[in-house]
Amino acid sequence: MLITKTYHDVPSKLDPNGNPIRVFVIAPNLPNYPHAKFPGVVVFSEIYQVTGPVERFAGQIASQGFVVACPSSFHEFQGPEAIPYDVEGTDRGNKYKVDKEVSAYDEDATLSVDLLTSLPNCNGRIAATGMCLGGHLAFRAAFDSRVLASVCFFATDIHSATLGKGDDSLSKVQSGALTGKGELVMIFGKQDTHVPRPGRDLIRKTLEDANVTVSFLEVQAQHAFIRDESSKGRWDAALTRSLFTFMMEVFERTVGRDLGPRVDQGGTIEHVC
């Protein structure tokens, strides 16, 4: 399916400098069907903002029949341009990551979902995904009841509560913020030094103890194994393809079709807004 790319500069109430957040939108292009509507997916990036690998990843999702929004996470500190995959860029991105308020990350997610649901080519059924920092942001996006599925690739800082100022992701899970919400998928490489085994075990236990609908995948890979550029020898194209297919099955099943209200096994209807 052909795709198009554009962007929207969305006002932010929490940006101390009054800067908008730029959200790139990649969408299916069907000229003969100008009124077609598609589900939406928010793709959250690494600490380098919307780079070539992130855009290509988002484009692959869009080409499957989804409207994809890619927010630029560090609008409080710089413009929407990508941060280089080098030592200076890594240091800059890591500094921005911890200096940013978690409430501001949450606003970015809310504004991205708001944008998708406002677009004439989006049907309002929303999922989320992301990698590294973006994996954590996709995890937090699942707190929004409008997000029906989140697939999180090697999400950093969840186990250590070090996303930014005010990180409370696991404590929110413990308080029931994900219980009864959408479907969650956590994907980690077993050789990922950013999220070691005790951290992965803590995340899995916290989610399962809270009765969250979650699939937890641990694969033979390192951190950043889906990044097809400047991955420092860690990119695994075959594994990426396999897990992309897994992700698309989740998205097709949860947001790709309108199945009506969910009914639990006791017969109670759960109305999904």
H or E segment and range at residue 86: none
Helices (H) and strands (E) in the chain, counts: 7, 10
Indicate if 132 belongs to the active site: yes
Catalytic residue among 122, 152, 223, 236: 223
> Beta 262-263 vs 269-270: how paired, if at all?
antiparallel
HSE-CB for 96 with a 13 A CA cutoff: 22
Phi/psi at 158 (nearest 5 deg)?
Answer: -65, -50
Pairing of strands 147-153, 183-189: parallel
Exactly one of 132, 157, 167, 236 is catalytic; name it: 132
Rounded to the nearest angstrom, the gap between the alpha carbon of residue 128 and the centroid of all alpha carbons in its chain is: 4
Give the pair of three-digit tokens for residue 256.
Answer: 């790709």
- Residue 152 annotated among the catalytic residues of the structure: no
Q: Is 192 marked active-site?
A: yes
Q: How far apart are the first and last CA of the chain?
A: 29
Dist. CA 47–CA 130, nearest whole Å: 11
For residues 176 and 143, what is the distance between their CA atoms, to the nearest angstrom? 10
Indicate the residue type of 261: P
- By annotation, the residues acting in catalysis are 132, 192, 223
